[in-house]
Structure 1
């Protein structure tokens, strides 16, 4: 993994549609020795702050608004002064966690965010959630996919606000077009690459999940 990327694993609970599951989340810090951008502030702001150390946090970016990806965002924002970014299509999910407290900035497809000289391009990849985004860092040969694409296939689409044909289209048209050597940093579990996942698209479609 590049020195510009740090993974922090936090643990907590994911709650939706009346169910609750224990989960481990990947929190990604991207930048350099002076400043970082935090992707998916999950479960524990103190654990994330320990990894940030003395660096400035330029932004807290949510790949989507399921509670397990945003439930430490407000506390982290208060501690660092960094703005929280979210695609507005995920507002209904955000409100389940935070009510009337709004994110600070809206993500849009094609936006470019920077931290420590690293540029991350926002790619809207709906399906797991309507406002799901991936963040592509071409200079690092990496893409941060949240719960859109995992090592082994697409994210889950069996719950509210999700849709299987939509996530397949996002992966096929927006992610599998990236260079095959691109490393996929996921919201849970192990990394993969675009090239490792691309051959299995038809199998995912046949299985319907």
Structure 2
């Protein structure tokens, strides 16, 4: 059996609902750490599949990049199964409470926080826009950033729904993400990875397209 790497990945499937609409989605769930302990990023749709990817390792925390229901719908169930705290930026409270009105997150995520599991450090970059408290997680030693729904392969996350802002997401991407090294791998909440260098040249195109 191949030992787990510093980054493991499962895709889970379900739905995303907001503003009266529901869409089928596939979500990337990231498990980051070593053979002993990990952080789980975005517990979506299927806590048993995520727990299988954890493989008996200690879960330091269930980290939520933001609180849209497709990213947090199984966070409490997973957290309870693995006895781990749920971490979320407090600006996400209105969205979180739509899904989990009676279960607040356990700890707050703030810009500049450093989370650690298995010798891997993740620096929290607050990147509002897709939602008020969206957060990305940058692992400089691994040359990767986990962007949730802030930056995708091909452009910024959606901003056409409640609690979102196109101007804000562009500012977040410009200031917090496109300043990272160009070879930084962008591991997204949905779809295929990209790199900062691949996305950087398109910033002005996104701005023109968004206005």
Give the drift of 1:101: 1.2
1:55 aligns with 2:19: no
State which of 134, 139, 143 in structure 2 corresponds to 1:137: 139
Unaligned 5+ residue runs, structure 2?
none
Matched, 1:46 2:48: yes
Select 1:181's aligned residue among 180, 183, 207.
183
Q: TM-score, normalised by structure 1?
A: 0.98
Match for 2:109 among 88, 107, 110?
107
What's the TM-score, normalizing by structure 2? 0.97
1:195 maps to 197
Give the 3-state SS of the residue equivalent to 2:159 in structure 1: coil
Q: State the Cα deviation string for residues 88-140 of structure 1 (Å, max 9, x = none).
A: 00000000000031000000000000000000000000000001000000000
In structure 2, the partner of 1:121 is 123
1:158 is aligned to 160
The aligned residue for residue 68 of structure 2 is: 66
- 1:13 corresponds to 2:15: yes
**Number of equivalences:** 208
Structure 1 regions of 5+ residues with no counterpart?
A: none
2:170 match: secondary structure = helix
SS in 1 for 2:169: helix
User: CA–CA distance in 2 between the matches of 1:164 and 1:100?
Assistant: 31
Q: Distance in 2 between matches of 1:81 and 1:186?
A: 26
User: Within 2, Cα distance between the matches of 1:7 and 1:51?
Assistant: 8
Render the CA deviation track for 1:62-102: whole Å, top value 9, x for unaligned. Answer: 00000000001000011011000000000000000000310
Structure 1 runs (4+) deviating above 2 angstroms are none
C-alpha RMSD of matched pairs (Å)? 0.9
Cα deviation digits, residues 125-177 of structure 1 (max 9, x gap): 00000010000000000000000000000000000000000000000011000
Q: Match of 2:111, SS?
A: coil
How far is the alpha carbon of 1:3 from its aligned partner? 2.3
